[in-house]
Structure 1
């Protein structure tokens, strides 16, 4: 009798960022489509938990920032307490979702300590009893598949499938109404072309220079009449404020003013997003909003998924490159190159068929 079946209490583990959670949503859908009675709990980071509440296939969210992902610092006793917490949920099984460059064994040990009897996951080396349902990782040196495909192929190992491979994100009606009213009150004319610009990013190495954003936005605003809405976190207000100042105050700056749900609602409304390779890009893709992404040469498997897009590449400064030599092997040639002129062309290409909503 097959262990993997409908009705399980299933722990899905995705411990990294918001965008990584979104790129795993087709795999979550495959599980719930195949096994609708399964109770799916997601263990994720605090950043991932913020967006998980907007994903309909997730039944429960547990949040914890582990010390083996992105340099999070935790006391050892808190990790032990997390294992005890997981044990109390009496999970039947766990699925470990990891980026190709991540080692799954610390998370597998966490599940082992929690007494979870079956664990599915990729691993490069033999994990023995730490991952009972071991899938040898075929992406040894560099990523060869899109992140969405990687996770869909993992759950296919337990016969979970879906024909709908889109990312999943559902903003609330209340957030949609509130954001539309907010930007309308600020003077945005929905009958004229407009776009959202998200210039911030969590890692400095993936940040496109603010001045180059300005050099792209000035001609778009002055020559083509685009309205610009800037978004970002409270910590990014100085960055968006700098860009707004260089645009003579003619952009609407909403940095630090939107909840994640409201940001999703804004992106659902927007005709286009310009951003670094960061979470809002994947939010836009989930919502069907075209994207111009300024893509640092870091993780080639994270391009926008199933949405009209233009990917423009730029080099990571030498002092900010990963210490992992394998992650420095970005596939070349990576073209076209990100430049203000290329951004302007990409916006015009993607907005060529835009029509205002009546």
Structure 2
């Protein structure tokens, strides 16, 4: 019933790497100040970090400014390749409340004042780069790079022709890497990047201590939320999987989420049952981003819907079980130990925030025992010595 994501995803690599509209000249050492436009979510910005690193490494003394959303601004302090950040609630990104245009004119003026040498507009294939390209054109940024389906004429002078999804779909990391490679920024290391600070780890330790959670006891992080309803595995099934893991390992289960996701956490913990209640800890709305990321870094395994925690785990090299709704094939875990679980359905790649069929079969078809087993396999593969002989022995016995 369940398959690896790669077995049913659209073709990648060779199919997607159709030539640009015309060969592009590499950006030279004169391109020093680069505006990187990524006005999406936190995970989208993280999946762009290998491309940002490639841009930075291609020439000495480059300065990268990230033009991003409020969510992207939150992750910027953890990105070593980003020198500066400009927050912009771009009207072309999502449905926004009506507003007057002076804010957008002020942004154009700010970009002109900064005197950027070039701009890279990072998008997914369902997004049109031309609104951002127009902003950069009007701001006098002379080099403007993006993928575009239609002829952009003067709005893009470095144009890579959009070929997705008709000729295959790349992972989001690959998509952005091949974009910057078109102007000579070749990646030596394509890992996602996030740099934690000592204060983040210290804040985490203090937060766990306040809640009476023994840091010496291994733990799993379980994140039952996601911004779109169509990407949420049922909280009750998360609870069933958590209970199985507790009974088989004795690990703590730390349930995370935003304040609005607290009801999901309560449902999960109730579903786990009274026999494992002392191992279940509700940590919704407990951390700022830095401490939350430090929690993921320390986890034996992260179990999550395909949402921000999966991408943080990828950036930190943490093992992750990804409950992957078949809404979008581009955003799975990247270069970290992982298991991607889903139930294949004919309506895959619907790109909907709410299941159009109403059955959520791509997620509801995953039995909780498969989730628990995937987590146990990852722990056995990545952390055979857990610091607790009893837990290590239990995991080894279960996976033999």
TM-score by length of 2: 0.81
Could you tell me whether the CA contact under 8 Å between 2:222 and 2:256 is conserved in 1? yes
Aligned match of 1:32: 56
Distance 1:17 1:317 in 2: 28
- Say whether the 8 Å CA contact 1:14–1:96 is kept in structure 2: yes
Bigger mean CA offset, 294-303 vs 232-241: 232-241
User: Is the CA contact 1:312–1:337 (under 8 Å) kept in the aligned structure 2?
Assistant: no
Quote the residue 1:215 is aligned against.
Answer: 240
Aligned position for 1:272: 301
Q: What is the rounded CA distance, in whole Å, between the counterparts of 1:312 and 1:237 in structure 2? A: 24
**1:123–1:134 Cα contact (<8 Å) kept:** yes
Residue in structure 1 matched with residue 7 of structure 2 by the alignment: none
Where do 5+ consecutive residues of structure 1 fail to align? 329-333
Per-residue CA deviations over 1:244-277 (Å, capped at 9, x if unaligned) read 3333443111111100011111111111100011
State the superposition RMSD in angstroms: 2.6
Matched with 2:85 is: 61
Aligned to 1:23: 47
Counterpart CA distance in 2 for 1:51 and 1:21 is 8
Matches for 1:189-204 after TM superposition, within 5 Å: 189-204=214-229
- The question of whether the paired residues in 2 share the 8 Å contact of 1:100 and 1:143 is answered with no
Q: CA deviation at 1:90?
A: 1.1
CA offsets 1:8-51 (integer angstroms, 9 cap, x no match): 21100011110110000000111111123111000011111111
Which residue of structure 1 aligns with residue 289 of structure 2? 260
Confirm whether residue 4 of structure 1 aligns to residue 27 of structure 2. yes
- For residues 141-180 of structure 1, what are the alpha-carbon distances to aligned partners after superposition, in whole Å with 9 as ceiling and x for unaligned? 4752111111111111111123111111011111112212
Cα distance 1:23–1:323, how it changes in 2: closer, same or farther (>3 A)? closer
Decide which moves more: 174-183 or 125-134. Answer: 174-183
Quick check: 1:272–1:291 contact (8 Å CA) kept in 2?
Answer: yes
> Residues 89-112 of structure 1: CA distance to partner in whole angstroms, max 9, x if unpaired?
111110011012211111111112
Segment drifting more, 291-300 vs 245-254: 245-254
Count of paired positions: 348
Aligned counterpart in structure 2 of residue 166 of structure 1, from 177, 182, 191? 191
How far apart in 1 are the matches of 2:295 and 2:87? 25
Q: 1:343 to 1:3 in 2, by over 3 A?
A: closer
CA distance in 2, matches of 1:204, 1:93: 38
User: Which residue is equivalent to 1:331?
Assistant: none
Unaligned runs of 5+ in 2: 1-24, 357-361, 389-400
Give the match's secondary structure for 1:311. strand
**TM-score, normalized by length of structure 1?**
0.90
What do residues 67-91 of structure 1 show as CA deviations (whole Å, max 9, x unaligned)? 2213233523322222122112111
Q: Please give the secondary structure, in 1, of the residue aligned with 2:330.
A: helix
| Residue pair 1:205, 1:321 contacting (<8 A) in 2 also | no
C-alpha deviations, 1:279-314, integer Å up to 9, x for none? 111101111100001111112111100011010125
- 1:136, distance to aligned residue in structure 2 (A): 0.3
1:191–1:356 contact (8 Å) kept in structure 2: no
- Could you say which residue in structure 1 is the equivalent of 2:261? 236
Matched residue of 1:73: which SS? coil
Q: Report the more deviating stretch, 249-258 or 91-100.
A: 249-258
In our comparison, the structure showing a higher alpha carbon Rg is 2
Q: Deviations over 1:293-340 (max 9, x none)?
A: 11111121111000110101257998x95479xxx9xxxxx8995321
* 1:301 corresponds to: 330
How far apart are the structure 2 equivalents of 1:343 and 1:194? 16
Please state if 1:352 is matched with 2:380: yes
Instruction: Quote the Cα distance in structure 1 between the aligned partners of 2:112 and 2:209.
Output: 49
Residue 142 to residue 208, structure 1, CA distance change in 2 (3 Å): farther
Contact 1:26 1:164 in 2 (8 A): yes
